[in-house]
Structure 1
Amino acid sequence: MLPDSIGKLKYLRVLSLNYCNLLGRIPSSLGNLTFLAKLDLSFNGFTGELPNSMGSLNRLTNLGLVSNKLSGNFPHVLLNLSEITKFDLRSNQFEGMLPSNMSTLSKLEDFEISDNLFSGSIPNSIFMLPSLVHLDLERNDFSGPLEIGNLSSPSKLGSFALGENNFNGPISECISKLTELWLLDLSFWNTRRGMVDFNIFLQLESLTLLDLSYINTRSTLDVSIFSPLLSLSDLDLSGINLKISSTLSLPSPMDTLILSSCNILEFPKFLENATSLLYLDISANQIEGQVPEWLWGLPVLRYVNISQNLFSGFEGSVDVIQIRGGLVMLDISSNTFQDLPLLPNSMKFFSGSDNQFSGEIPRAICELVALDTLVLSNNNFNGSIPPCFSTILSVLYLGNNSLSGIFPKESISDNLRSLDVGSNQLSGELPKSLINCTQLEFLNVEDNIIKDKFPLWLRLLPNLQILVLRSNDFYGPISSPGGSLSFPKLRIFDISDNRFTGVLPSDYFSGWTAMLSVVDIEDRTPIRFAGRGSGYYHKSVGLANKGSNMELVGSGFTIYKTIDVSGNRFEGNIPKSIDLLKELIVLNMSNNAFTGHIPPSLSNLTNLQSLDLSQNRLSGEIPPELGKLTFLGWMNFSYNRLEGPIPQATQIQSQNSSSFAENPGLCG
Structure 2
Amino acid sequence: MVWFLLFLHLFLFHFPSFSSSFNFSCHHYESSALLHFKSSFTINSEPAYSYFCDESRLLKTATWKNEIDCCSWDGVTCDTISGHVIGLNLGCEGLQGILNPNSTLFHLAYIQKLNLANNDFSGSYFHSKFGGFLSLTHLDLSHSYLKGEIPTQISHLCKLQSLHLSGSYQYNLVWKESTLKRLVQNATNLRELFLDDTDLSSLRPNSIALLFNQSSSLVTLNLAETRLSGKLKRSLLCLPGIQELDMSFNDELQGQLPELSCNTSLRILDLSNCQFHGEIPMSFSNLTHLTSLTLSYNYLNGSIPSSLLTLPRLTYLGLIYNELSGPIPNAFEISNNFQELVLSNNKIEGELPTSLSNLRHLIYLDVSYNSFSGQFPSSLFNLTHLVTLDCSHNKLDGPLPNKTTGLQKLTNLRLNDNLLNGTIPPSLLSLPFLLVLDLSNNQLTGNISAISSYSLEFLSLSNNRLQGNIPESIFNLANLSRLDLSSNNLSGVVNFQNISNLQHLKFLQLSDNSQLSVNFESSVNYSFFDLMELGLSSLSLTEFPNFSEKLPMLVYLDLSNNKISGSVPNWLHEVDFLRRLDLSYNLLTGDISLSICNASGLVFLSLAYNQMTGTIPQCLANLSYLEVLDLQMNKFHGTLPSNFSKESELETLNLYGNQLEGHIPKSLSLCKGLMFLNLGNNIIEDNFPHWLETLHYLKVLLLRDNKLHGIIVNPKIKHPFPDLTIFDISNNNFSGPLPKSYFKKFEAMMNVTELEYMRNRIWNGDGDGRNPYSSYYDSVIVATKGNKMKLVKIPNNFVIIDLSRNKFEGEIPKIIGELHAIIGLNLSHNRLTGHIPKSIGNLTYLESLDLSSNMLTDVIPLELTNLNSLEVLDLSNNRLVGEIPQGKQFNTFTNDSYEGNLDLCGLPLSKMCGPEQHSAPSANNFCSEEKFEFGWKPVAIGYGCGFVIGIGIGYYMFLIGKPRWLVMIFGGQPKRRVKRRTRMTRNQSSITNQNQNQMVQMS
Structures share fold, TM-score greater than 0.5: yes
Amino acid paired to 2:498: I
Structure 2 residue 684 is the aligned partner of structure 1 residue 421: no
For structure 2, the residue ranges without an aligned partner over 5 or more in a row are: 1-274, 908-1003
- What is the TM-score with the length of structure 1 in the denominator? 0.74
- The answer (yes or no) to whether the contact 1:597–1:620 under 8 Å persists in 2 is no
Q: Give me the whole-angstrom Cα distance separating, in 2, the residues matched to 1:647 and 1:78.
A: 60
For residue 134 of structure 1, report the CA deviation from its aligned partner: 1.6
| Aligned with residue 654 of structure 2, among 379, 397, 421 | 397
| Aligned with residue 521 of structure 1, among 725, 747, 756 | 756
Report sequence identity in percent: 23
Matching of residues 137-286 of structure 1 within 5 Å: 137-149=415-427, 154-173=431-450, 176-191=451-466, 195-196=468-469, 198-202=471-475, 204-226=477-499, 228-238=501-511, 239=513, 240-246=516-522, 253-255=529-531, 256-269=533-546, 273=550, 279-286=556-563
Change (3 A) 1:232 1:551: closer
Structure 2 residue 643 is the aligned partner of structure 1 residue 387: yes
- The answer (yes or no) to whether the contact 1:280–1:305 under 8 Å persists in 2 is yes
Larger RCO (CA within 8 A; separation ≥ 6): 1
- The answer (yes or no) to whether the contact 1:164–1:189 under 8 Å persists in 2 is yes
Q: Give me the whole-angstrom Cα distance separating, in 1, the residues matched to 2:826 and 2:618.
A: 41
Matching of residues 46-195 of structure 1 within 5 Å: 46=323, 49-50=326-327, 52=329, 59=338, 61-66=340-345, 70=347, 72-76=349-353, 79=356, 82=359, 84-91=362-369, 94-103=372-381, 105-124=383-402, 128-149=406-427, 154-173=431-450, 176-191=451-466, 195=468
Q: Give me the whole-angstrom Cα distance separating, in 1, the residues matched to 2:724 and 2:355.
A: 41
- The answer (yes or no) to whether the contact 1:438–1:461 under 8 Å persists in 2 is yes
Aligned to 1:595: 835
- The answer (yes or no) to whether the contact 1:79–1:104 under 8 Å persists in 2 is no
Aligned to 2:666: 408
| Aligned with residue 4 of structure 1, among 263, 278, 282 | 278
For residue 159 of structure 1, report the CA deviation from its aligned partner: 0.7
Q: Give me the whole-angstrom Cα distance separating, in 2, the residues matched to 1:284 and 1:355.
A: 10
For structure 1, the residue ranges without an aligned partner over 5 or more in a row are: 313-335, 491-511
Q: Give me the whole-angstrom Cα distance separating, in 2, the residues matched to 1:232 and 1:345.
A: 23
Matching of residues 647-662 of structure 1 within 5 Å: 647=886, 652-661=890-899, 662=901
| Aligned with residue 441 of structure 1, among 699, 704, 719 | 699
| Aligned with residue 623 of structure 2, among 359, 363, 368 | 368
- The answer (yes or no) to whether the contact 1:58–1:81 under 8 Å persists in 2 is no
Q: CA deviation digits over 1:278-315, x for unaligned, max 9?
A: 54433333233344555667676665444433343xxx
Q: Give me the whole-angstrom Cα distance separating, in 1, the residues matched to 2:837 and 2:580.
A: 58
Partner SS, residue 128 of structure 1? coil
User: How many aligned positions are there?
Assistant: 598
Partner SS, residue 566 of structure 2? strand
For residue 541 of structure 1, report the CA deviation from its aligned partner: 3.3
Partner SS, residue 472 of structure 2? helix
Change (3 A) 1:125 1:666: farther
- The answer (yes or no) to whether the contact 2:561–2:584 under 8 Å persists in 1 is yes
Change (3 A) 1:655 1:534: same
Matching of residues 489-568 of structure 1 within 5 Å: 489-490=748-749, 512-513=750-751, 515=752, 518-519=753-754, 521-530=756-765, 534-552=773-791, 554-558=792-796, 560-564=798-802, 568=808
- The answer (yes or no) to whether the contact 2:412–2:434 under 8 Å persists in 1 is yes
Q: CA deviation digits over 1:141-181, x for unaligned, max 9?
A: 32222225589x954321111223222222234xx243332
Q: CA deviation digits over 1:408-429, x for unaligned, max 9?
A: 2475223333333344525245
- The answer (yes or no) to whether the contact 1:456–1:479 under 8 Å persists in 2 is no
For residue 576 of structure 1, report the CA deviation from its aligned partner: 9.5
- Bigger radius of gyration, 1 or 2? 2
Q: C-alpha root-mean-square deviation of aligned residues, in Å?
A: 4.4
Q: Give me the whole-angstrom Cα distance separating, in 2, the residues matched to 1:587 and 1:78.
A: 56
Amino acid paired to 2:689: L
Q: CA deviation digits over 1:183-226, x for unaligned, max 9?
A: 111224424xx532522424544322222223313312223334
Amino acid paired to 1:382: G
Q: CA deviation digits over 1:501-521, x for unaligned, max 9?
A: xxxxxxxxxxx22x2xx5253
Change (3 A) 1:181 1:570: farther
| Aligned with residue 880 of structure 2, among 616, 638, 641 | 641
Q: CA deviation digits over 1:422-443, x for unaligned, max 9?
A: 44525245354752x4444333
Q: Give me the whole-angstrom Cα distance separating, in 2, the residues matched to 1:455 and 1:100.
A: 63
Q: CA deviation digits over 1:5-49, x for unaligned, max 9?
A: 54267258443553x6x4x9445569658558342443x7x4854
- The answer (yes or no) to whether the contact 1:527–1:535 under 8 Å persists in 2 is yes
- The answer (yes or no) to whether the contact 2:600–2:625 under 8 Å persists in 1 is yes
- The answer (yes or no) to whether the contact 1:345–1:367 under 8 Å persists in 2 is no
| Aligned with residue 344 of structure 1, among 591, 598, 619 | 598
| Aligned with residue 712 of structure 2, among 452, 468, 478 | 452
Q: Give me the whole-angstrom Cα distance separating, in 2, the residues matched to 1:116 and 1:663.
A: 58
- The answer (yes or no) to whether the contact 1:340–1:357 under 8 Å persists in 2 is no
Q: Give me the whole-angstrom Cα distance separating, in 2, the residues matched to 1:423 and 1:586.
A: 20
Q: Give me the whole-angstrom Cα distance separating, in 1, the residues matched to 2:665 and 2:527.
A: 50
- The answer (yes or no) to whether the contact 2:470–2:490 under 8 Å persists in 1 is no
- The answer (yes or no) to whether the contact 1:60–1:84 under 8 Å persists in 2 is yes
Q: Give me the whole-angstrom Cα distance separating, in 2, the residues matched to 1:142 and 1:368.
A: 44
Q: Give me the whole-angstrom Cα distance separating, in 2, the residues matched to 1:126 and 1:32.
A: 30
Change (3 A) 1:402 1:654: same
- The answer (yes or no) to whether the contact 1:182–1:206 under 8 Å persists in 2 is yes
Aligned to 1:39: 318
Change (3 A) 1:47 1:392: farther
Q: Give me the whole-angstrom Cα distance separating, in 2, the residues matched to 1:206 and 1:390.
A: 44
Amino acid paired to 1:473: F
Q: Give me the whole-angstrom Cα distance separating, in 2, the residues matched to 1:345 and 1:645.
A: 61
Aligned to 1:330: none
- The answer (yes or no) to whether the contact 2:783–2:789 under 8 Å persists in 1 is yes
Q: Give me the whole-angstrom Cα distance separating, in 1, the residues matched to 2:637 and 2:824.
A: 33
Q: Give me the whole-angstrom Cα distance separating, in 1, the residues matched to 2:745 and 2:405.
A: 56
For residue 52 of structure 1, report the CA deviation from its aligned partner: 3.9
Change (3 A) 1:265 1:362: closer
Change (3 A) 1:563 1:366: closer
Q: Give me the whole-angstrom Cα distance separating, in 2, the residues matched to 1:367 and 1:620.
A: 53
Q: Give me the whole-angstrom Cα distance separating, in 1, the residues matched to 2:550 and 2:523.
A: 10
Amino acid paired to 1:39: G
Change (3 A) 1:411 1:304: same
| Aligned with residue 734 of structure 2, among 470, 473, 481 | 473
Partner SS, residue 217 of structure 1? strand
Q: CA deviation digits over 1:487-536, x for unaligned, max 9?
A: 1x44xxxxxxxxxxxxxxxxxxxxx22x2xx5253322233343556455
